[in-house]
Homo-oligomer: A and B are copies of this chain.
Amino acid sequence: MEMVQEGVTAPLGYQAAGIHCGVKKARKDLALIYTDTPAHAAAMFTTNSVVAAPVVVDRIQLERSAVVRAILVNSGNANACTGERGLNDAWAMVKATAAALGIAESEVLVSSTGVIGQYLPIDSILTGVPLAVERLGADGTGAAEAIRTTDTFSKEAAVRCMVGGTRVTVGGMAKGSGMIAPNMATMLAFVTTDARITPEVLRSATRQAVDRSFHRISVDGDTSTNDMVAVLANGCAENPVIDSEQGPGYAAFYEALEHVLVALAKMIVTDGEGATKFVEISVTDAATEEEAAKAARAVANSNLVKTALNGEDANWGRILAAIGNAGITFDPAHVEIRFGNVPILRPNYLIDFSEEDAKEVLSRKDILITIRLHRGTASALFWTCDLSREYVTINANYRT
Known interface pairs A82-B349, A83-B348. Does A310 touch B392 (Cβ–Cβ under 8 Å)? yes
Instruction: Tell whether, in the assembled complex, residue B49 and residue A303 are in contact, meaning their CB atoms are under 8 Å apart.
Output: no
In angstroms, Cα B49 to Cα A329, docked, is 8
In angstroms, Cα B221 to Cα A227, docked, is 23
Instruction: Tell whether, in the assembled complex, residue A333 and residue B222 are in contact, meaning their CB atoms are under 8 Å apart.
Output: no
Tell me, yes or no, whether A315 is within 8 Å of chain B by CB. Answer: yes
Tell me, yes or no, whether A106 is within 8 Å of chain B by CB. Answer: no
Instruction: Tell whether, in the assembled complex, residue B396 and residue A222 are in contact, meaning their CB atoms are under 8 Å apart.
Output: no
Known interface pairs A81-B332, A324-B225. Does A396 touch B304 (Cβ–Cβ under 8 Å)? no
Q: Which of B84, B179, B321 contacts A225 (CB 8 A)?
A: B321
Interface residues as binary, A217-239 with B (CB distance below 8 Å gives 1, 0 otherwise): 00011111100000000000000
Instruction: Tell whether, in the assembled complex, residue B321 and residue A48 are in contact, meaning their CB atoms are under 8 Å apart.
Output: yes
Interface residues as binary, A55-93 with B (CB distance below 8 Å gives 1, 0 otherwise): 000000000000000000000000011111010000000
The smallest C-beta distance from A326 to any residue of chain B, in angstroms, reads 8
In angstroms, Cα B393 to Cα A388, docked, is 8
In angstroms, Cα B81 to Cα A349, docked, is 6
Tell me, yes or no, whether A246 is within 8 Å of chain B by CB. Answer: no
In angstroms, Cα B224 to Cα A84, docked, is 45
Q: A221's closest neighbor in chain B, by CB?
A: B303
Q: A323's closest neighbor in chain B, by CB?
A: B50
Instruction: Tell whether, in the assembled complex, residue A313 and residue B398 are in contact, meaning their CB atoms are under 8 Å apart.
Output: yes
Q: Which of B224, B321, B399 contacts A50 (CB 8 A)?
A: B321
Tell me, yes or no, whether A397 is within 8 Å of chain B by CB. Answer: yes
Instruction: Tell whether, in the assembled complex, residue A392 and residue B397 are in contact, meaning their CB atoms are under 8 Å apart.
Output: no
Instruction: Tell whether, in the assembled complex, residue B396 and residue A324 are in contact, meaning their CB atoms are under 8 Å apart.
Output: no
Known interface pairs A303-B220, A399-B313. Does A333 touch B83 (Cβ–Cβ under 8 Å)? yes
Tell me, yes or no, whether A377 is within 8 Å of chain B by CB. Answer: no
In angstroms, Cα B224 to Cα A396, docked, is 27
Tell me, yes or no, whether A316 is within 8 Å of chain B by CB. Answer: yes
Instruction: Tell whether, in the assembled complex, residue A304 and residue B395 are in contact, meaning their CB atoms are under 8 Å apart.
Output: yes
Instruction: Tell whether, in the assembled complex, residue A321 and residue B222 are in contact, meaning their CB atoms are under 8 Å apart.
Output: yes
Note all chain B residues with C-beta closer than 8 A to A393: 389
Tell me, yes or no, whether A400 is within 8 Å of chain B by CB. Answer: yes
Instruction: Tell whether, in the assembled complex, residue A307 and residue B392 are in contact, meaning their CB atoms are under 8 Å apart.
Output: yes
Pick 15 A–B contacts, CB within 8 A, sort by A: A49-B325, A49-B328, A49-B329, A50-B324, A80-B317, A80-B321, A116-B317, A117-B320, A117-B349, A220-B303, A221-B302, A223-B325, A307-B396, A310-B392, A313-B399
In angstroms, Cα B273 to Cα A304, docked, is 11
Residues of A within 8 A of B (CB): 47-51, 80-84, 86, 115-117, 178-179, 220-225, 301-304, 307-308, 310-311, 313-318, 320-325, 328-330, 332-333, 345, 348-349, 351, 387-389, 391-393, 395-400
Q: How many of these chains are in the complex?
A: 2
Note all chain B residues with C-beta closer than 8 A to A84: 348
In angstroms, Cα B51 to Cα A396, docked, is 35
Note all chain B residues with C-beta closer than 8 A to A116: 317-318, 320-321
Instruction: Tell whether, in the assembled complex, residue A222 and residue B302 are in contact, meaning their CB atoms are under 8 Å apart.
Output: yes
Instruction: Tell whether, in the assembled complex, residue A392 and residue B395 are in contact, meaning their CB atoms are under 8 Å apart.
Output: no
Note all chain B residues with C-beta closer than 8 A to A329: 49
Note all chain B residues with C-beta closer than 8 A to A224: 321
Q: Which of B221, B351, B395 contacts A308 (CB 8 A)?
A: B395
Instruction: Tell whether, in the assembled complex, residue A311 and residue B82 are in contact, meaning their CB atoms are under 8 Å apart.
Output: no
Residue of A84, A115, A307, A389 most packed against chain B (CB within 10 A) = A307
Instruction: Tell whether, in the assembled complex, residue B322 and residue A222 are in contact, meaning their CB atoms are under 8 Å apart.
Output: yes
Note all chain B residues with C-beta closer than 8 A to A307: 391-392, 395-396
In angstroms, Cα B128 to Cα A206, docked, is 62
Note all chain B residues with C-beta closer than 8 A to A51: 324
Given contacts A225-B320, A313-B397, 15 further A-B contacts (CB under 8 A): A49-B330, A50-B332, A80-B317, A81-B345, A83-B349, A117-B345, A117-B349, A221-B221, A222-B302, A222-B303, A223-B321, A223-B324, A224-B321, A304-B395, A307-B391
